[in-house]
Amino acid sequence: MVKDILVVKDLQVWFPMRTGFIQSLVSKEQRWVKAVDGVSFNIKDREIFCLVGESGCGKTTTGKAILRLVEPTGGKVKYYGEGKNTLMKEMLEDAVSKGKVTKEQAAKMMAEGGLDVRALQKGRMKRLRQKMQIIFQDPYESLNPKQSIYDIIAEPLVVNGIGANEAEREKRVVKALDDAGLRPPKDFMWRYPHEVSGGQRQRVGIAGALVLQPEFLVADEPVSMLDVSIRSEILKLMLDLREQKGLAFLFITHDLGVAYVFSDRIGIMYLGKIVELGPTEEVVKQPKHPYTKALISVVPTPDPEMRRDKIILKGERPDPANIPPGCRFHPRCPFVMDICRKEAPKAVFVSEGHWVSCHLETGTPAEPPPEEKKA
Amino acid sequence: MALLEVQGLRTYFKTQEGTLKAVDGIDFMLEKGQAMGLAGESGCGKTTAALSIMKLLPANGYIAGGRINFMGQDMAKVTGDKLRAIRWRDISIIFQGAMNALNPVKRVGEQITEPIILHEKVDEAVAMKRAKELFEMVGINPNRIREYPHEFSGGMRQRVMIAMALACKPRLVIADEPTTALDVMIQAQIISLLKNLQKELDLAMIVISHDLSVLAETCEQLSIMYAGKIVERASSAEVFEDPQQPYTKGLIAAFPNIHGKKIMPASIAGNPPNLIRAPLGCRFAERCFMAKEVCLKEEPKLVEVKPGHWAACHFVPPLRG
Ligand SMILES: Nc1ncnc2c1ncn2[C@@H]1O[C@H](COP(=O)(O)OP(=O)(O)OP(=O)(O)O)[C@@H](O)[C@H]1O
Ligand SMILES: Nc1ncnc2c1ncn2[C@@H]1O[C@H](COP(=O)(O)OP(=O)(O)OP(=O)(O)O)[C@@H](O)[C@H]1O
Ligand code: SF4
Ligand SMILES: [Mg+2]
Ligand SMILES: [Mg+2]
C-alpha cells in the first residue's frame, strides 16, 4: 500500500471578525469567519491531490494552514515525509528527557506515527518548511523586481544557513534552475524578473521552491495567470518533478479543466468544507454531489450538445461568516429537501475511495480520511 | 450594409525602443445583431483593436492605416460631439478589468445615471428610472441602486458594467474579457446574461477573450489573433471542428477538455514575437511545427480556404486556385 505523506483531519481556520463599536455593545459574542471549517484529506507519496472550488471557499487558507503560514484553529496535520525524522527524533528525545513518554513509547511513535505539525515550535517549523514548500499564484507579484533571479533563488539558502559558501550555494541555484527547466541556468541567473516571460517567471517561482529540496509542495493556482498555450508546459514540469524527485503536491485551483488533466485525486470544496472527494476521473465523470455536478456542467465548452444541461446556480460567493445550518450548500441546491435545512449530511462512501456529503447519497459512513494505520 | 466594417486596420504605439505594431492589418465585418469573438493570447492586440474602433487609444497610440466604417460613417472623419454621440449611444464598451475600477466613493446608481444624463440630456428622475430598469435587466435588485461598489460582489460589479454599457441602447457592445476574473459559476451567469441580452435587444457584440470556449458559447463567429494579425476566421463551430491554421490548432489543443480523455493537453513552446521588431515572414513561424523556409521569408495572407472560413498559412490551400 502506498504511504501517506500528509494527513489533514478536521482542520479549522477561523478568523475573528472585527465588530464595530456599536455592535460590540449589542452583543458580546465573538463572531468568526470560518474560512476552513473541518477539512479532512490525505495525500499519498508522489500523489497530486487537488482542491477545487469557488473563490473564497478556503483553498488558499487550507494550503497555508498546513504549512502554518496561518495558524489553524483546530484539527490535526500530520506529516510522514522523510523530512520528519530528525525533527521527530529531537522532539521525542525532549519528551523522554522530560519524562513525558517512555523510551519504548517514543520508539513506537517514531516508527509508526506522523509528525504533529501543529505541535512544532517556531524554529522547528521553519526547518520543516524546507521540506514543505508553497508556490503562489502570481508570477508577477511574488518575485521581488529588484532582485536578480540568482538572488531570489539563493535567498532561502542564505536565510536557512544552507551551503557552506557562495560557490556551494551557486551550485544549488544552478541545479534548481535546471530542474525548473530554465536552461541553460547561466542564461537566466543574472536577469531580473521583468526580463523573462510570464511562463519563465512561474518557473523561477518553482525553482525558488525546489532549491531547498522539498518533499511536498503546495502549488496555489500556479498556472492561472499564464496563457493557455504555455500552461501545460508548467504542469508537465511538475509531473516531471514528481517522477524524478518523488515530490507530492497539494494543487489548488478553481479551474476544473486543469484539475482534471493534472491530478490523481480531487477534493471539491464548498464554504470551508470538502463536499466530495475521490479519484479525479471518477469525480469528474460521475460526480455525485449537486455542487460538483453544477460546477462540471458550467465549464464552458465548444460542444453545443454538452451545453444543454447546465446547472447554473443562483447567487454567488457564500459568506463564511454566516454559514447556513444543516447542509451548508442547501440555499443554492437545486435538489434541497427538508432534512437538508436541519441536519448536516454525513460523508458516505459511494465507491472505494470516493466519498460525498449529501443527504441524497447513501453508503457506508466515511470517516475521511482513514485513521492512521496501526502497525 | 454591414454595421461595422474594419479593413486593413493598423494601430501602432510609439515607445522608447521604437514603433510597436500592436495591430497590423486586420479585417472583419459585423452585421446587425451578430456576435463575433476575438481570441488570442495576452498581448496579441485584442484590446488595442477594440480601443481603435472606439477611438479611445492612449496618447502614444495611433491608427497608422486602414478604415473603420460604422453604420456607413468613416470613423476616421468623425470627431468632436459627433464622435461622443457615437460612443456610448451607438457603440459602447465594457473595459477589461473595469469592474474593479468603479469609483469607490460614488453610489453605483450615480455612476450609471451620470452618463445617461450627459448623453441623453434627460433629467435625473428619468435617468434614475432608466437605471433601475437596467438593473432589473442585468439581474440586480433595483433596491440596491444606492449602494456603493464595495457592497457588490465581483459578479454583481460586472453586471453593473454591463448595465452601464447598455444605458444608451447601443447597437454594438464591445465586451473586453467580460468573464475573465470571475469564478466559473458567475462566468456561466454572465455568459447566459450576455446571450439573452444579445437576443432580446438584437445587439451586435464583439466579445474579447483568451478563452476560446467562452467565445464558442457566446458568439457565432470567431476570429483568432496572433501577434497583431487575424490568422483564422470562421463560424465558432467550424473553428473547433476543422481548424486550419497551426496556431489555432495549437490553441484548441492546449485547452483541457473535461468531457474528453484525461490527458495532458499540448502546449505551444516559445513566446510570441516582439512587436517592435516583428519577423518578416509568418509571425508564428518560430513556434510552428509546420514551418518551412518560405514561412520565414513570406507573410501568408488571410485567404478563404472553405466557404466562409479564412486562414493565413502557406500550407493551407485557398478555396479557389
Ligand atoms: N486573514 C484573514 N482574515 C479574515 N478573513 C480571511 C483572511 N484570509 C482569508 N479570509 C477569508 O477566508 C475565506 C477563504 O479565503 P481563501 O483565500 O482561502 O479562499 P480561496 O478558496 O483561496 O479563494 P480564491 O479562489 O479567491 O483564491 C474568504 O472569505 C476570505 O475573505
Ligand atoms: N500604451 C501602450 N504603449 C505601448 N505598447 C502598448 C500600449 N498598450 C498596449 N501595448 C502593447 O501592444 C500589444 C497589444 O496589447 P493589447 O493590450 O491590445 O493586447 P491584448 O491582446 O488585449 O492582451 P491581454 O489579453 O493581455 O489583454 C502588446 O504588446 C502591448 O504590450
Ligand atoms: S444535502 Fe441536500 S441541500 Fe445538501 S447537497 Fe445534498 S440535496 Fe443538496
Ligand atoms: Mg486562493
Ligand atoms: Mg486586453
Please indicate whether residue B142, judged by its CB atom, sits closer than 6 Å to ligand 2.
no
| Residue A2 included in any domain | no
Tell whether the model's pLDDT for residue A338 goes beyond 90. yes
Q: How many angstroms separate the alpha carbon of residue B177 from the centre of ligand 5?
A: 7
Q: What is the dihedral of CA B198, B204, B208, B214, to 10 degrees?
A: 30
For an interface test with A, the pick among B258, B287, B288, B289 (most A C-beta atoms closer than 10 Å) comes out as: B258
Q: pLDDT band at residue A143, thresholds of 50, 70 and 90?
A: confident
Please indicate whether residue A327, judged by its CB atom, sits closer than 6 Å to ligand 3.
yes
Option in B42, B185, B265 nearest A316 (CB): B185
| Residue A134 included in any domain | no
Mean pLDDT of chain B: 93
Option in A227, A258, A316 nearest B256 (CB): A258
Angle between helices A84-97 and A103-112 (to 10 degrees): 160
- Please give the single-letter amino acid code of residue A265: R
C-alpha dist (Å) from residue B45 to B22, B52, B176, B209, B225: 5, 10, 12, 11, 8
Mean pLDDT of chain A: 90
- Alpha carbon nearest to ligand 1 atom 28, residue: A56
- pLDDT given at position A140: 66
Average pLDDT over residues A162-188: 91
Average pLDDT over residues A122-126: 93
| Residue B290 included in any domain | yes
Q: pLDDT band at residue A317, thresholds of 50, 70 and 90?
A: confident
Q: Chain A closest CA to B305's CA: distance in Å?
A: 22
Cell of B277: 521588431
| Residue A44 included in any domain | no
C-alpha dist (Å) from residue A301 to B79, B167, B214, B244: 41, 30, 7, 20
| Residue B165 included in any domain | no
Domain ranges, residue A300: 286-374
| Residue A169 included in any domain | no
Least-confidence region, from A157-166, A227-236, A349-358, A360-369: A360-369
- What CA–CA distance (Å, rounded) separates A38 from A121? 23
- Structural domains in chain B (count): 1
- Structural domains in chain A (count): 1
| Residue A81 included in any domain | no
- pLDDT given at position A373: 44
- Longest pairwise C-alpha distance within chain A: 69
Interface contact A233-B236, CB threshold 8 A? no
Q: Chain B closest CA to A110's CA: distance in Å?
A: 39
ipTM: 0.89
- What CA–CA distance (Å, rounded) separates A366 from B218? 42
Q: What is the pLDDT of residues A270-286, one digit of tens each?
A: 999 999 999 999 999 99
Average pLDDT over residues A203-223: 91
- pLDDT given at position A369: 60
Q: Name the range with the highest mean pLDDT among A15-24, A191-200, B58-67.
A: B58-67
**Which atom in ligand 3 lies closest to the alpha carbon of residue A275?**
5
Name residues 246-275 of chain B within 8 A of A (Cβ). 250-251, 254-259, 262-269, 271
- Alpha carbon nearest to ligand 1 atom 30, residue: A56
Q: Which residues of B touch A231 (CB under 8 A)?
A: 254, 265, 267
Q: Chain B closest CA to A325's CA: distance in Å?
A: 22
- pLDDT given at position B15: 92
- pLDDT given at position B266: 92
**Is B212 in CB contact (< 8 Å) with chain A?**
yes
- pLDDT given at position B190: 92
Q: What is the pLDDT of residues A34-82, one digit of tens each?
A: 999 999 999 999 999 999 999 899 999 999 999 999 999 999 999 999 9
Tell whether the model's pLDDT for residue A254 goes beyond 50. yes
| Residue A316 included in any domain | yes
CATH of the domain at B188: 3.40.50.300
| Residue A8 included in any domain | no
Tell whether the model's pLDDT for residue A370 goes beyond 70. no
Under-70 pLDDT residues of chain B: 321
Average pLDDT over residues A125-150: 86
Domain ranges, residue B54: 4-90+170-312
